[in-house]
Amino acid sequence: MTCPRIVGLTGSIGMGKSTVAAMFERVGVPVFDADAEVRRMQGPDGTLVPAIEAAFPGSTGPEGVRREALGAQVFGDPEALARLERIVHPAVAARRQEFLIEHAGAPVVVFDIPLLFEKGGHAQVDAIVVVSAPAEVQRERVLRRPGMTAEKFAQILALQVPDEEKRARADHVIDTGRPLAETEAAVRALAAELAR
Ligand SMILES: CC(C)(COP(=O)(O)OP(=O)(O)OC[C@H]1O[C@@H](n2cnc3c(N)ncnc32)[C@H](O)[C@@H]1O)[C@@H](O)C(=O)NCCC(=O)NCCS
Ligand SMILES: Nc1ncnc2c1ncn2[C@@H]1O[C@H](COP(=O)(O)OP(=O)(O)OP(=O)(O)O)[C@@H](O)[C@H]1O
């Protein structure tokens, strides 16, 4: 049996990764959504909740992990963030392997991984797709989100490989600073090319 070609989809905060991932799904490419897996495992009765409560007392409740509060605690504190990542990342990697087995017959699968470059996942994919838009478009999108502040945005940006470097290291760049229909056409063309 041939293995699917694994495409890593990444991009900095607010660049449109989730939107582009949904476009890949619409053209029939299975997408593994690392963030969604994290949210599920941190949600009500999530498998990671007890370990996170033990490491960050008071950070969870009946709704699972209180993400906004935990984010405020860890994004400015590298030691705390590393402690959280040691709990979360191995669980995500295990889910990713299961996904690959479930979709072993597909020609192409997409791994939507926000921290592909930051955490070394780029070495485990066959091709890298980066979503990118001008910095002012990114800033406007992110600051529109509920609970987001300029300070939190700056902290998160400082933790991420700069957009320019991501673009330079990509095999393909999807421009999300244009009308959605144009981005969607670019995704459809790329999906066809990757499946060849
Ligand atoms: C700290 C948490 C609870 C905050 O949740 P919250 O909903 O407030 O923010 P959200 O997850 O949307 O993240 C906001 C932005 O920060 C980025 N980000 C998240 N975790 C990290 C990290 N470990 N390092 C750098 N950037 C990060 C995201 O890619 C996104 O661009 C959550 O981000 C988390 O559990 N992070 C650790 C796990 C992780 O690394 N997840 C990302 C990929 S699997
Ligand atoms: N051409 C485009 N391509 C993608 N997104 C677009 C485009 N035009 C406008 N948008 C809007 O930009 C926003 C991008 O948000 P999205 O959640 O996809 O970003 P993200 O990169 O996944 O964010 P994060 O890394 O923070 O999770 C959406 O509201 C989307 O509708």
Given this model, what pLDDT does residue 162 score? 97
pLDDT over 80 at 1, yes or no: no
Q: Is 14 annotated as a binding residue?
A: yes
Give, using CA atoms, the residue closest to atom 16 of ligand 2. 16
Picking from 95, 97, 93, 99, the residue whose alpha carbon sits closest to that of residue 30 is 99
Is the pLDDT confidence value at 154 over 90? Answer: yes
pLDDT at residue 3 in the model = 86
pLDDT at 191 over 80: yes
pLDDT at 136 over 70: yes
Instruction: Please check if 8 is assigned to a binding site.
Output: no
Residue 123 pLDDT: 85
Q: What's the pLDDT at 121?
A: 85
Atom of ligand 2 nearest to the CA of 174: 3
Average pLDDT score over residue span 131-137? 98
pLDDT band at 174 (very low <50, low <70, confident <90, very high): very high
Please state, in angstroms and rounded to a whole number, the distance separating the CA atoms of residues 121 and 8: 8
Tell whether the model's pLDDT for residue 4 goes beyond 90.
yes
User: Is 61 annotated in some ligand binding site?
Assistant: no
ipTM of the complex: 0.85
- Domain-wise residue ranges, the chain: 5-195
Measure 64 CA to ligand 1 centroid, in angstroms.
16
* pLDDT of res. 144: 97
Note the Cα 81 to chain centre separation in Å: 16
Q: Based on C-alpha coordinates, what's the Rg of the chain?
A: 17
Ligand 2 mean position to 142 CA, how many Å?
Answer: 9
- Per-residue confidence (pLDDT) for residue 2, from 0 to 100: 73
Q: Report pLDDT for 129.
A: 98
- The mean of the pLDDT values for the chain is 95
3-class state of residue 127 by DSSP? strand
Model pLDDT for residues 84-128, shown as the tens digit of each residue: 999 999 999 999 999 999 999 999 999 999 999 998 888 889 999
Instruction: Write the burial class of residue 82 (CB in 10 Å: 0-12 exposed, 13-18 middle, 19+ buried).
Output: exposed
Class of 5-195 per CATH?
A: alpha beta
Q: What is the pLDDT of residues 28-77, one digit of tens each?
A: 999 999 999 999 999 999 999 999 999 999 999 999 999 999 999 999 89
Q: Is residue 55 within 8 Å of residue 83, measured between CB atoms?
A: yes
